[in-house]
Amino acid sequence: MNTVQLKKGHEKPYLKGQLNLDGEDLSDDTFLGDGEIVRVEDTYGRLIGIAMLSFEQKTKGWILTNGEETIDDAFIESRILSAIDRREPLYNEPDTTAFRLFNEIGDGIGGLAIDNYDGHLLVTFYSRGIHKIRDLIIRTLMVRLKPASITEQTRFSERGRMNIANRRVTGNVEFPITVKEAGLSYSIHLEDGPMTRLFLDQRETRKALVRNEADAKTFLNLFAYSGTFSIAAAEGGMATTSVDLAKRTNELITDNFNANNLSTDGHTIHIMETFEYLNYAARNNKRFDQILIDPPSFSRYKKKVFKVERDYPKLIEQALMVLKPKGRLVLSQNLETFTLNQFKQQIGRTIEKAGRSYSLTDVKGLPKDFPTSKGYKRGKYLKVVTVDLND
Ligand code: SAH
């Protein structure tokens, strides 16, 4: 096993428990290979931990144990099996068939995610290194879960460009299939690009929409994609308007309404750019009781770049123009490098600048099947903040 040394003075955060290996902290990493198991030491030769290298955008690798433990097949297998055991309560929920089984370093192995869609598994590998133990991971899942199918998704850079590909590993199934979440049905597809049509980490946001505690009648869903928030809001009794610039949105959302035997009467879909829609809605006096904003981190439209950390204030400003008095905003942001505090401040400043006042009603993060580790705080990427305008 190779040993890699931390630069002098760079050991502090690691002694406090940091698990992600930052390339900047390593004295010489030129001889290291992706996927390699290495001993991490400080400059005095003290053991920091044993790491599995995983060349991802966010890290060079992950410290998997701080002791002298051997990282072998049995170690990996046992981390996967314990994670599955911890999902027992979700397996026992009769109305929910889709959830995360393994959440990267939060479940003890960085660079690996496993999702369960009613017995059909999606295994995501975030580096070529972690993909080297793919056979072991697949075998462990086959033996323990006897899944109906397994699809693998690789997400790593090839010559500096991120390449995302899905491949069927085993099982006979024709996607899309329907899964359940809190009694509602969602159409999902595991072999149709990077997204599955259902973001499992937003389960609690959907539940809150169904409860509709604010008793909203009209709901605007921006960046709607497959419309899962619209389905939840419709179930909560709201008339929904879904906006997304992708043409496929129409079909994806309609499929989800059909899967729930919900009539699409009173529900509208606009294939439009968000800011263009908000301008159009403001001009045409459309007003909503509740507006949900869940943008991607980055997107491009007609040569214009949307960057979530920079452009969120503009989204809020424009949404306020079409929000009814005392309306509610549900604001979601999932950039790893942006903290909940930063997001709250950004929201506060923007609403105050618009001359309005608000109450913070609710803050949600990741659900229980997306556990995070104290050693990697940025893993808590999801922030969903609900604010009610005071007038
Ligand atoms: N809120 C969704 C996920 C959004 S995925 C959910 O929870 O299911 C991001 C979506 O934003 C994609 O469907 C993409 O087509 C859309 N999108 C990206 N930029 C956009 C823009 N400027 N205006 C409208 N839609 C946009």
Structure tokens at 340: 């909940």
CATH number for 2-65 (one of 2.30.130.10, 3.55.40.20, 2.40.30.10, 3.40.50.880): it is 2.30.130.10
Residues 178-193 as b or e (16 or more Cβ within 10 Å = b) = bbbbeebbbbbbbbee
3 state SS for 315-362: HHHHHHCCEEEEEEEEEEECCCCCCHHHHHHHHHHHHHHCCCCEEEEE
Find the radius of gyration of the CA atoms of the chain. 22
Average pLDDT over residues 157-180: 94
At 322 the pLDDT is 98
Does residue 41 have a pLDDT over 90?
yes
Kindly report, as residue ranges, where domains of CATH 3.30.750.80 are found in the chain: 73-177
Q: CATH code for 73-177?
A: 3.30.750.80
Q: Which of 225, 273, 297 to mutate to test the pocket of ligand 1 (most atoms within 8 A of CB)?
A: 225
Structure tokens at 89: 């309560």
CA proximity to 36, closest of 127, 150, 161: 127
Kindly report, as residue ranges, where domains of CATH 3.40.50.150 are found in the chain: 199-389
Q: How far is CA 63 from the centre of its chain?
A: 22
Average pLDDT over residues 246-260: 98
How far is the centre of ligand 1, averaged over its atoms, from the C-alpha of 225 (Å)? 5
Average pLDDT over residues 189-216: 97
At 70 the pLDDT is 95
Does residue 134 have a pLDDT over 90?
yes
Prediction pTM value: 0.97
How far is the centre of ligand 1, averaged over its atoms, from the C-alpha of 248 (Å)? 11
Does residue 28 have a pLDDT over 90?
no
How far is the centre of ligand 1, averaged over its atoms, from the C-alpha of 108 (Å)? 31
At 159 the pLDDT is 83
At 176 the pLDDT is 98
**Element of type H or E holding 274:** helix 274-283
Task: Measure the CA–CA gap between 147 and 145, rounded to whole angstroms.
Answer: 5
Residue 246 CA: nearest ligand 1 atom is 15
Average pLDDT over residues 76-98: 98
Q: Pairing mode, if any, of strands 37-41 and 47-53? A: antiparallel
Ligand 1 neighbourhood includes 186 CB (under 6 angstroms): no
Q: Which of 245, 305, 308, 335 to mutate to test the pocket of ligand 1 (most atoms within 8 A of CB)?
A: 245
The answer to whether the beta carbons of residues 4 and 38 sit under 8 Å apart is yes
Residues 3-42 as b or e (16 or more Cβ within 10 Å = b) = ebbbeeebbeebeeebbbbeeebbeeeeebebbbbbebbb
Does residue 275 have a pLDDT over 90?
yes
Q: What is the pLDDT of residues 5-27, one digit of tens each?
A: 999 999 999 999 999 999 999 99
Q: CATH code for 199-389?
A: 3.40.50.150
Which of the 8 DSSP states describes residue 26? B
Q: For residue 322, how many C-alpha atoms fall within 13 Å in the half-sphere facing its CB? A: 29
Which residue minimizes the CA distance to atom 25 of ligand 1?
A: 244
Per-residue pLDDT band at 30 (split at 50, 70, 90): confident
Per-residue pLDDT band at 160 (split at 50, 70, 90): confident
Q: What is the pLDDT of residues 173-185, one digit of tens each?
A: 999 999 999 999 9
Average pLDDT over residues 185-203: 97
Task: Measure the CA–CA gap between 165 and 99, rounded to whole angstroms.
Answer: 21
Average pLDDT over residues 281-286: 98
Task: Measure the CA–CA gap between 229 and 154, rounded to whole angstroms.
Answer: 27
| Mean residue pLDDT across the chain | 97
At 253 the pLDDT is 98
Over pLDDT 90: what percentage of the chain?
97
At 29 the pLDDT is 82
At 378 the pLDDT is 96
Average pLDDT over residues 369-378: 97
Whether the bond into 176 is cis, omega within 30 of 0: yes
Kindly report, as residue ranges, where domains of CATH 2.30.130.10 are found in the chain: 2-65
